[in-house]
Chains A and B, each alone.
Chain A
């Protein structure tokens, strides 16, 4: 299972005032609020943690098919950097999800997976439009719950994908094709 979330940092800065009274405590755990306070650039930490929660929520929603809004229930831990990308895990109820998060000047793109062994078997795309080259011989369809899949036009086998839009950016992740 995969989930991803992309944040256009310029747009997030215009759309959200995370310094508003009560904002952080509604959606972040006490430990996460401490991480934000201690961070060299607190707003970067806000959006990194937020994207982790959203990416993990997409996995949970995919499994349970239940919509909820309780970001504080998704608890993030950072474990370090891997080639410039932030890594760590997100706990929700009894499950833990691994994540990897890439960032550039104006965008954070976080991908969560149900087990960290999957992190090395993903095609991750960050850009400004849908990566049509990734599905030239496939159709992008959504099931009745709005969950996207790529369907191979010859074999009809569905491959789960996760797509995220925000502002100027599109994030896309799918399991690597087995050759």
Chain B
């Protein structure tokens, strides 16, 4: 799966939780879930759960610890998919 496809899928996942429409529209590898998209920290867990469901992977707490931006999310998804 290429990076652009992953970002498009992530965009759909974060959409219900993102409070900054403009940042969501311009989502890219450097987008931060909290600082840019203004996702509430209590909703970050929803993002993690949605990613798990969408990609059929399990995100352990050690990986979740880094899942604060698009770049890390992509790295984690790719690593988990690669390990399957």
How far apart are B64's CB and chain A's nearest CB, in angstroms?
6
Which A126-178 residues sit within 8 Å CB-CB of chain B? 166
Flag A22-52 by CB within 8 Å of B: 1 or 0 each: 1100110000000000000000000000100
Would B64 and A20 count as touching, CB distance under 8 A? no
- A selection of 5 A-B contacts at a CB cut-off of 8 Å is A15-B43, A16-B40, A23-B45, A69-B41, A69-B44
| Chain B residue contacts of A71, Cβ below 8 A | 45
In the docked arrangement, what's the CA distance between A139 and B11, Å? 38
- Is B66 on the interface with A (CB-CB < 8 A)? yes
Give chain A residues whose Cβ lies under 8 Å from the Cβ of B45. 23, 26-27, 71
A106 at the interface (CB under 8 A from B): no
Please determine whether B65 and A16 come into contact, CB atoms closer than 8 angstroms: no
Picked from A22, A67, A68, the residue with its CB within 8 Å of the CB of B52 is A22
Residues 45-84 of B contacting A (Cβ, < 8 Å): 45-46, 48-49, 52, 61-62, 64-68
B25 at interface, CB cutoff 8 A? no
- Is A23's CB under 8 angstroms from B64's CB? no
Q: In the complex, which residue of chain A has the Cβ closest to the Cβ of B53?
A: A22
Contacts of B66 in A (CB 8 A): 68-69
CA distance A21 to B42 in the complex (A): 15
> Judging by beta carbons under 8 Å apart, are A20 and B68 in contact?
no
Which B residues lie within 8 Å of A20 (CB)?
Answer: 46, 49
Contacts A22-B52, A54-B41; A73 near B61 (Cβ below 8 A): yes
Asked whether A119 is an interface residue with its Cβ less than 8 Å from the other chain, the reply is no
Chain A residue numbers with a CB within 8 Å of B42 are: 12, 15-16, 50
Residue of A21, A69, A73 touching B67 (CB-CB under 8 A): A69
Looking at the assembled complex, report how far the CB atom of B42 sits from the nearest CB atom of chain A, in whole angstroms.
5
Cβ–Cβ contact B49 & A70, under 8 A: no
User: Is A1's CB within 8 Å of the partner chain B?
Assistant: no
Q: Are B43 and A16 in contact (CB under 8 A)?
A: yes
Task: Tell me the minimal C-beta distance from A24 to chain B in angstroms.
Answer: 9
Interface string of A100-111 (1 = CB under 8 A from B): 000000000000
Question: Which B residues are in CB contact (< 8 Å) with A16?
Answer: 40, 42-43, 46
Which residues of A have CB within 8 Å of B65? 68-70
Closest residue of chain B to A54 (Cβ to Cβ) is B41
When the two chains form their complex, are residues A26 and B48 in contact, meaning their CB atoms are under 8 A apart? yes
The answer, yes or no, to whether A72 is at the interface (CB within 8 Å) is yes
Complex contact A26–B68 (CB within 8 A): no
Name which residue of chain A comes closest to B62, CB basis.
A70
